[in-house]
A = this chain, B = another copy of it.
Amino acid sequence: MHLYQFGRIKADLATQKNELTQLGFPTKERTLSDLARATFALFEPQAHGDAATREAWANRAVDDDTDLATWLATDRDVIKRDNFYNVALQYLGFQPRVDFDQQHPRTFMKQTGLPYQDADINNQDKFVSAVYLLLNTRTVNVVTLIDALAAKGLLNTLPERFTFFNGKSLPTFDTHQIIREVVWIESDLDTDGDGQRDMLEATIIRPRVTDKGVQVPALFTANPYFHGTNDQDVEAATHVPEPTLQVKAAGTQPAATDADWHPEQDQLPHREVTDTTKTASVFGDEPGIYSLNDYFLARGFATVYSAGVGTRGSDGLRSTGGPDETASAVAIIEWLDGNRRAFTTRTGHTAITAWWCNGNVAMTGKSYLGTLAIAAATSGVPALKTVISEAAISSWYDYYREQGLVVAPGGFQGEDADVLAIDTYSRQQAPGDANRVKAKWESRLKDISQAQDRQHGDYTPFWDVRNYRHNVAQIQCDFVSVHGLNDWNVKPRNVVKLHEALRTVGSSVHHKMFFHQGQHVYLNNIQSLDFADQMNLWLSNKLLGVDNDAVNALPDVEIQDNVEAAKWVTTPDFGHGTGVTNRQFQFGTDEPTAEFKDESTAIFNAEHDTSDSFERQIIQPDSPYSAARLWLPLLQADQDVVIEGTGTLHLRVRSDAPTAIISARLVDIGSAFRLQPTASIVARGNYPLGFDWQYENTLEFAPQKQPNAAQLISFSHANLQNPVDGATAVTVNPGEWVDMQLTLQPTRYHLPAGRQLVLIVHGADMAQTIRPTATPTITVDLKASHLDLPFRNDQD
């Protein structure tokens, strides 16, 4: 176990004393022992009164023979560090003998990454500093000790106001008294073409104390799934991977026009306001869906969910990431900032403002939710002060297409823009409402199905207008991105290309990036990292103006190691700058060329494979797909190396057909106990989000229980007719050499000594591309091909 903590900031003694005093902690008593007694009493907030407190102390061991109650009963001039930390570790949730040796508590603390004072405690100021540090140290249950004590009632006597400790907001807001309400926000859109502005439903979850004049910031999660999904319709609409790869005409796709970005629409009248109110008319009966939002609710941040145009309760139609969905998210933010009107009912005239909001908004959420956060940020809407975007799409072409090919999100073969539009059109779940726009929706859906163009896979204006990276220059707010390095659903390219786009336009925005070893998951309950605490530092700064230097205090890039469990490293940038160098790999020595016949589909069918089993098999040294791939060893690592960044494969290739799918997989070969791609539950429901509030599970990525022989590091897919990108197709004559450039998914991969790095070149990817029945023979000119791969050289 290792508990990293980047969200703790330095504070001088005066600040420590002020902050402790504010919480009711003593900082000066008659004697050091008096101070210790008064302090440890507050460490047992569940115990009311001296007798109960002493009993609680009696449960803690200072050593094998002495409990804390007995120990505190004796006055002493010096508190030995080991005594202090033997007890401190128990408050942090560790057990003597089981977790640590009471003879050497600091040995365990050092191994685990827990901070401690540098000497025995021989005066009251040193005790105060030790307590301040301890309260800001992480417990075994994700949160810091101050949060754990708050969960037992320590802060219940404080006023229900923002209270900051070590630069972060404390859970002082009463989650038993939450207001849940629904309003309808007037947008500038009329996506269902009824001549009326689309009204957007939003659910607000805010502390009741806002009714008494406390203004709070809002965490806004634009969640198209909030009101349910249409799973049965999705099943019917999911595409069967096509058996034929179409030959396409040469040419370059045009960029999206201004009309694509801003479709012309009639001048829309504003809804007349006949009345105003501070009280909503509809109770929000959907519970929150993201525990990080719930964690912040206890800390005074309201949560706002809106599912957007075309979802249940709202007007309009879905577009799978089109400009109207961006506008739909932005509208909510503008209302929160007082710059847009909203009503208590969808069709009524009683207006309601976000009078409880301080006008500062952050967006949160994963996947489509985080995607809309990127989208909204690229609008530059001023009230959006920051974004925490996780596993998000920055260009929908990078989600459903790749270099001229239809490529499915991992795990969702056959999904496409139209399928997702169907999935999120929850307006259908209000059938009385949906019946009224049935024809319009069917027509819109037909348009999407056609425009997405599964036949050719090109980067058309449909996709160009869904590439939020065009507008990164407009991003005004500092930005947090989280992505799984094993996320083959929303692939890492999305976050790294967003980051590169910011760099390209010379943006002054600070972009903090987290890369974990998971797939398509949240990060906030991973035990080894203090993600929620870091976000607290960040949001306290961005939305509440706390002067905690969050921008400099937090690392720029935090990356979870893929070899050692629970290990995180930091870098100043990702795959770029000092310490990162490119290495060029040549292929083969004896044979000038190598060829394979792409019979993947036939083998797939003969083996009765699934997408999952194909993905496993294609990378095994001994594989049913051996004849349908090239196996190109790159490196036998004689010492640990770290790949970091985006690799580029330069391939001179020919096909005996006018078209082909070319895929590349970078793999780590060698039997090893690698990390599991799914985090395991370390402890169920032990991570408290506030006082008598919700609990989360604590997770960690554990090593596999059985070794495996091969591990995917990265991959890439391309249409032979799109040798460089998805926008430009060329004509390929059978047998003609084509110089291709395939961009691998960016990664950070620690390849330990003794393992082999191998490049696999193959054809169709049964899990992600279509499944052609044609079997072209592909030849690679090995001498004229190479792989550029970035390595980080300045890290253990």
A496 to chain B, nearest CB (A): 31
8 A-B pairs whose Cβ atoms sit less than 8 Å apart in the complex: A51-B344, A55-B348, A57-B432, A60-B430, A62-B432, A64-B435, A67-B432, A95-B429
- Is A46 interfacial (CB-CB < 8 Å)? yes
- Is A90 interfacial (CB-CB < 8 Å)? yes
Contact B68 A285 (CB under 8 A): no
Contact A283 B95 (CB under 8 A): no
User: Interface size on A (CB < 8 Å)?
Assistant: 62
With A283-B152, A285-B151, A695-B287: A68-B432 Cβ-Cβ less than 8 Å: yes
- How many Å lie between the Cα of A346 and that of B49 in the bound state? 13
With A178-B692, A432-B59, A433-B67: A281-B348 Cβ-Cβ less than 8 Å: no
Closest to A431 in B: B61
With A55-B346, A176-B176, A178-B692: A281-B48 Cβ-Cβ less than 8 Å: yes
- Is A14 interfacial (CB-CB < 8 Å)? no
What chain B residues lie within 8 Å of A69 (beta carbons)? 432
Given contacts A46-B182, A47-B282, A59-B312, 17 further A-B contacts (CB under 8 A): A47-B281, A51-B281, A51-B344, A51-B348, A52-B281, A55-B348, A60-B431, A60-B432, A61-B431, A61-B434, A67-B433, A68-B432, A95-B431, A96-B431, A98-B233, A152-B283, A152-B285
What chain B residues lie within 8 Å of A64 (beta carbons)? 435
Partner of A98, one of B48, B68, B232: B232
A138 to chain B, nearest CB (A): 19
- How many Å lie between the Cα of A427 and that of B662 in the bound state? 62
Contact B287 A685 (CB under 8 A): yes
- How many Å lie between the Cα of A97 and that of B230 in the bound state? 12
Contact string against B for A residues 171-197, beta-carbon threshold 8 Å, 1 for contact and 0 otherwise = 000001110101000000000000000
What chain B residues lie within 8 Å of A180 (beta carbons)? 692
Contact string against B for A residues 339-371, beta-carbon threshold 8 Å, 1 for contact and 0 otherwise = 000001111101000000000000000000000
With A151-B285, A152-B283, A177-B176: A52-B344 Cβ-Cβ less than 8 Å: yes
- How many Å lie between the Cα of A428 and that of B90 in the bound state? 12
- Is A153 interfacial (CB-CB < 8 Å)? yes
- Is A657 interfacial (CB-CB < 8 Å)? no
- Is A65 interfacial (CB-CB < 8 Å)? yes
A179 to chain B, nearest CB (A): 10
- Is A58 interfacial (CB-CB < 8 Å)? yes
What chain B residues lie within 8 Å of A433 (beta carbons)? 58-59, 67
A419 to chain B, nearest CB (A): 16
With A55-B346, A345-B55, A346-B55: A48-B282 Cβ-Cβ less than 8 Å: yes
B-contacting residues, A254-313, CB 8 Å: 280-285, 287, 312-313
Counting chain B CB atoms within 10 Å of each CB, the highest count among A90, A151, A312 belongs to: A90
Partner of A153, one of B55, B283, B348: B283
With A432-B67, A692-B180: A283-B685 Cβ-Cβ less than 8 Å: no
